[in-house]
A and B are shown apart, each in its own frame.
Chain A
Amino acid sequence: MKYAFSFLAVIALILIAWLGSQIPGMEYLFGVAIPYLAILVFLGGFVYRVMQWAKSPVPFPIQTTCGQGKSLDFIKRDKLDCPNTNSEVIARMFLEIFAFRSLFRNTKSELHEGPKITYESSKWLWLFALIFHYSFLVIVLRHMRLFTNPVPGWIQAIELGDAMLQIGAPTLYLTNIGLVLGVVLLFGRRLTNPHVRFISLVNDYFPLVLILGIAITGILMRYFLRTDIDIVNIKALLVGLATLQPVISAEIGAIFYIHIFLVSVLLAYFPFSKLMHLGGVFMSPTRNMKNNTRAVRHINPWNDPNIKPHSYAGYEDEFREYMVDAGIPVEKELPPKKDEA
């Protein structure tokens, strides 16, 4: 019950933050120390992981070509899926990172009597992933208003767009629905798709549940428990955190501490988990290399110059007699036969 465990873990985290923040004096631990620590672990860990990857060389060009490469001038090439220049690689990577292009290709196969295998386009995963990631991104950007004073115009613009339905007060953000929906869909897919359920680990369920916890506590704070929290003090604390002068001047409300604790856990967990795909997607050699490998030599730093072919001389020594008999040119003629002398 890998998913059940994930729920238990997140519930435990919530209880820790809830009860912990009620102990007098502990609000500095949950409101200041842990968030700072989490950010340090996140930044340090992220940089460390990327450096670790970068430390290993890319010995061979292993681009995956998904279209016609550059060859003869009358053969139309696919610049996007078989890039030959830096700008083409950038275009390929841009679509990969911002539009999840590979997932857009996804197909679903089915076995029928016969046997007959059919394939049809299946874009659900692509759609769920887009909803989830873009909602998350906008929410992160929107939250920057809490750390800045005055709030920059671009953040206000994002907020305005996100609240464009103008439903309710405080106005409903589309991305709040999007994030919860995204998590639920991705989680549901993990449970119901037999292939994915079989491969899923605790590492796959836990981050989803954790993010769900963050989303729900955030939504509760904004829409339902507004009287329990003091938004002015939260803003003061967060601006303080951002300017390295954090102050907690009054009681803020437990729900806030739960929310910020879960976010801290997510940040600290990030560099040690599959969430590092955020960094890895930029560095994958099958996607970010040019397919010009016969035109420009790629250098492998550990190429071993001592590996030589089985020498021609050795080959000819072994087979010289046969070669001469067959009229194949040789470098060294056969020695004169002794018994003829």
Chain B
Amino acid sequence: MAVVKLEQLSKSVVQGPSLSTGAIPTKDWMDTPAVFKPGNFAYQAKVEKVEYLDSQKDLSFPNAREWSPDEDDWKLPEDWKEIILQGLKERLDKFRSLKIFMDCCVRCGACADKCHFFLGTGDPKNMPVMRAELLRSVYRNDFTLAGKIMGKMAGAREMTVGVLKEWFMYSYQCTECRRCSVFCPYGIDTAEVTMMLRELLHLVGVGINWILEPASNSNRTGNHMGLQPHTFKDNVDFLAEDVENLTGVKINHSFNRKGAEVLFITPSADVFAEPGLYTAMGYLALFEEIGLDYTWSTYASEGGNFGLFTNNELMKKLNAKMYAEAKRLGVKYIIGGECGHMWRVLHQYMDTMNGPADFLEVPKSSITGTVFDNAASTKMIHISEFTADLIRHNKLKFDPSRNDHVKATYHDSCNPARAMGLMDEPRYILDHVVNNWVEMPENTIREQTFCCGSGTGLNTDEIMELRMRAGLPRANAVKHVIDKHDVNMLSCVCAIDRATLTSLMDYWNPGCGVCGVSELVGNALVMKGENRQELTEGLRTLV
């Protein structure tokens, strides 16, 4: 998909007829159908991926078929409507959040301009309240007295194929970033609504390939990228060699090793593509320096979890590998790498779904002696927590001037910020490893941070214009600090960010790089016995 030119998009965002630019739609939203055309939808899941997932005995992905969003006939099963309404009923009984969020909204509009998709597209149905109304209208019609009696007068409407198509369009123009929920007076979380919409759509075989393919890969090979064990090992070995070439320190790492103290799990993207690779090199250098007794796993080689973007069952199944592998290897606790949605699953879902991990011990850093009571039950800690603790206890020697080629800013990833409260650990690390870093404007960081625009499995090329629009608020805040402080590096603790923000910067702010915080740690780390070359670009330097 060719991406629209920068000048053209810049103009279109500000002047195009949209609700953000003051062009008020004349038609009621219920009378405005979703129209699919190339570029405004992510491709449907391939039949064999859906069939593979459906073949797993504890999963259900029915109605695999050839279909396409831009065709009129989606070849839905005959009883699709009953399936959807029954599915909705089940979910209302299973999730209090859904019921309350359906009932309590007063349409005050506080959320309206908080959504990056709305800011970038101006499409009224991208206002979080509207996205929820797409489902709420059906809920009213079939599950509330007022809706049954008053119908459209009470904001109710019947479930139709048109409504289903609308659900597909707008549940895949939401990255479940939860920014709206910060501003809602009732804490209504559109992520919950979007998750339910996506679950319902899967019941009738409607899903996108960019999510279901990585999810099936992860189930079979252990990671989203589909790296088989030997390839995964090769990639890490290669990165270890790179670290050795750059620093002169040999990296001792292992795979699937029983009896290690720590199992380390990070998103597979970190060992697969730039700039995540440099973050992984940072991990390797750090662990080597402190002599951590740890192992990688090829079986549990994925930190991320595309099940979170699919349904609860798949999320649980994919996540279960972590504890299963920790148990098999007999480790004491788990350290997780830098990733956003991964940490939402680990912080808010893992223990509930797959715990209790009573075969593990409360994480205790063997280097500093710190006991991580905040992870007393899950037994899994974030690499930023681990690193910050090392720094606090003076266990690491840094030369921040090694990062002087970098003028950094820090992007809070949605999930660590709003679903975990991990905000100051990475900042504490930055304070110690770089001489120059600045914050973006206050309405765009911490709990008010803006999504990269391509999370929840939307990091796919066919919707590039949508992604660049949705990422505009983030890019714009970065531009602000580029103009003001000559920032040239956007640091973050998220693997999806490392991939998506790179495209976003290349488009809106060419010249600004993207890196993981651990890469900056690796850059500045003074290692014992090092024979370091002149590394003008840190771990990125080509030698």
Contact = CB atoms under 8 A, between A and B. Distances in A.
A295 B425 contact: no
Interface in B135-180: 144-146, 153-155, 178
A294 B378 contact: yes
Contacts of B444: 119
Contacts of A72: 370, 385, 388-389, 392, 425
Contacts of A61: 348, 352
Contacts of A105: 182-183, 448
A286 B185 CA distance: 11
Contacts of A272: 144-146
B113 A57 contact: no
B347 A53 contact: no
Given A294-B378, A295-B373, A82 B421 contact: yes
Interface in B392-406: 392
Interface string A305-341: 0111111100110110011011111000000000000
A129 B377 CA distance: 41
A165 interface: no
A310 B110 contact: no
A274 B58 CA distance: 38
B94 A64 contact: no
Nearest to A5: B153
Given A66-B418, A202-B154, A203-B155, A194 B24 contact: yes
B318 A323 contact: no
The A interface is mostly helix, strand or loop, or mixed, namely: loop
Interface residues of B, number: 123
* Interface residue range, chain A: 35 or more
A297 B185 contact: no
A82 B192 CA distance: 19
Interface in B332-385: 346-349, 351-353, 355-356, 370, 372-378, 380, 385
Contacts of A112: 14
B20 A111 contact: yes
Interface stretch (A19-27, A73-81, A176-184): A73-81
Given A325-B230, A328-B229, A76 B424 contact: yes
Contacts of A100: 185
A114 interface: yes
25 contacts: A5-B153, A53-B99, A53-B100, A54-B96, A56-B99, A58-B96, A59-B352, A64-B178, A69-B374, A76-B424, A102-B110, A107-B448, A109-B113, A117-B476, A195-B127, A202-B153, A203-B146, A277-B105, A293-B352, A295-B373, A295-B374, A303-B353, A307-B316, A326-B229, A328-B298
Interface of B: 10, 13-14, 19-22, 24-25, 29, 56, 58-59, 92-101, 103-110, 112-114, 119, 124, 127, 129-130, 133, 144-146, 153-155, 178, 181-189, 192, 219-222, 228-230, 233-234, 255-258, 298-299, 312-313, 316-318, 320-321, 324-325, 328, 346-349, 351-353, 355-356, 370, 372-378, 380, 385, 388-389, 392, 417-425, 428, 441, 443-444, 446-448, 472-473, 476
